[in-house]
Amino acid sequence: MIKTQKDHLFVLVKSLTKSEKRQFKLYVGRLGVNEDSKFFMLFRQLDKLKVYDESAILASGFVKKQQLSNLKAHLYKQILISLRLNPSHQNVRIQLREQLDFATILYHKGLYRQSLKILDKAKSQAISSQEKNIAYEIVELEKVIESQYITRSLNNRADELTVQAKTLSQQNVIASKLSNLSLQLYGLFLKTGYVKNDAEYQKVTDYFHKRLPQYELKDLGFREKLWLYKSYLWYSFLIQDFKSCYKYSKQWVDLFYDHPAMMRLNPVFFLRGYQYLLEALFFVKHHRKFKIALRDFELVVNEPWFSKDHNTNSLSFLYLYTNKFNLHFMEGSFKKGLILVNEVLEGLKIHSDKIDEHHVMLFYYKIACLYFGMDDYNNTIKYLSKIINNKSLQMREDLLCFSRILNLVAHYEAGLDYHLDRLIKSTYKYLIKMEDLYAVQKEMVAFLKGLGDIYPHQLKSAFKQLYQTLQTYVNHPYEGRAFLYLDIISWLESKIENKSIEHIIKEKFTKNIK
């Protein structure tokens, strides 16, 4: 995958659509700038380049090296101004800021009534759009104007503004505390991962409740409830309570359906809510609800009114195809899922500048698992190699661990014996370096370490022994999650019963479908 260029201006220029480039050229024309202007010449030069090359820019002769930094800064600013004027980027938040700026200008010109009229209209829109930080700024400016006794407004005006300011301030404080808590829990998840024992569970629980602010649900608006559900969701993920993950992600998504206008105003939060809902349903293996949620998700993101831009298009692709893979994993329909591979690889090219490397590798892992479920071990190894050989990868440690284990199992199944001893040693060395291995991973390490000493006629017995050992962890509150990334139980059952993995998983799905 091509890494994103580090030069911010070049990245910005390359992100522009054809219509945005046309808009910028028109904007430059309105400034009265001719085509010989240096910053416009720099724009055209960057637009032509495939990769950022400062030497090529300097070789053009229109700018000296000591001038380039300032010229780039000026061009960057002009592009942002042009984008701000583009109707496609005129969201409610920008419009409200613009109205606040207009009112401030009118106030400084002494046109107080005109200023208050704009502020009153903007305040109503800000509150209805849940932009309460801007609403608070508007009220504060209204107070400044009214405090000068210039307008001779109604007697209760002072009380009205005071109450509004107090209410908005309290709501903003609650929202800030909840958003802080949500971010802190997410940071804790990235740092420590899921809890692995009772001591970690208690530590996370104390951490959560100590920072959870006092609130009355009936007093919370859309924004405050959104941060509340996000906080509870991350807490539930940390303690591996996936039923609660479903509960709070469902409340998150339902909140948007209760306030449809918010889907347009905050499409990214809506998309993320659906992703967590689908992830929770996948973890609890509720096929019927998962399939309905996936269908509804695909329908809504394809609605004409739903926000379509670089960011939402990339997120929609990422979440939709991640869960399409998960649906086939739940059903054991690996061969039917094969059509997704080319679609995903093509999508990764289209969205290469928006999807980070971690998520690209997650797709490779899912593709590898799909091929593994089809008994296509060569393709399994091919895609796992992309993960294992990526030295710059910043990926969750547990997924790197399972990539290596699955790679070893795939080599064993493919009959690549000449690689097996070396792979066993390298995999074992890698796994023992990991801190806080799960018990399931430790059992796999022990099994893999002894695999080279097992005679062919002893294999089935060894599989049965490992199967019985791992079964004790399937419903364990902390260890069971390991099987969500690598269904090693089904693989062992396939070896013991001499059936394909796909057959085993389909049997389980048919038996336990809900």
Q: Indicate the domain borders of the chain.
A: 8-89, 92-153
| Residue whose C-alpha is closest to residue 369's, from 284, 283, 485, 504 | 485
Q: What share of the chain is helix, strand, coil (3-state, %, to 5)?
A: 75, 0, 25
**With bands split at pLDDT 50, 70 and 90, how would you rate the model's confidence at 455?**
confident
Banded pLDDT at 233 (limits 50, 70, 90):
very high
Tell me the backbone φ, ψ of residue 458, rounded to 5 degrees: -95, -5
- Whether the CB-CB separation of 201 and 195 falls below 8 Å is answered with yes
Render pLDDT for 162-185 as a digit per residue (tens, 0 to 9): 899 999 999 999 999 999 999 999
Tell me, what's the pLDDT at 149?
Answer: 58
Compute the distance between CA of residue 230 and CA of residue 349 in angstroms, rounded to an integer: 31
- Between CA 64 and CA 186 the distance in angstroms is 46
**Tell me, what's the pLDDT at 219?**
86
What's the whole-model pTM score? Answer: 0.82
Give CA separation, 232 vs 179, 259, 276, in Å.
11, 20, 12
Side chain identity at residue 176, one-letter code: S
Quickly count: other Cβ atoms within 10 Å of residue 298's Cβ: 15
Q: Tell me the pLDDT band of 363, cut-offs 50, 70 and 90.
A: very high
pLDDT for 396 equals 66
Residue 321 has pLDDT above 80, yes or no: yes
The DSSP secondary-structure symbol of 219 reads G
Tokens at 257, concatenated: 């359906």
Name the more confident of 32 and 505: 505
Q: What DSSP element (H or E) covers 295? A: helix 287-301
Report the distance separating Cα 454 and Cα 461, nearest Å.
Answer: 10
Give the single-character DSSP code of 50: S
Q: What separation in angstroms does the CA of 317 have from each of 169, 345, 361, 394, 413? A: 38, 11, 15, 21, 33
- Helices and strands in the chain, H and E counts: 26, 0
> CA nearest 136: which of 176, 108, 105, 107?
176
Among 4-8, 333-337, 392-396, name the most confident range.
333-337
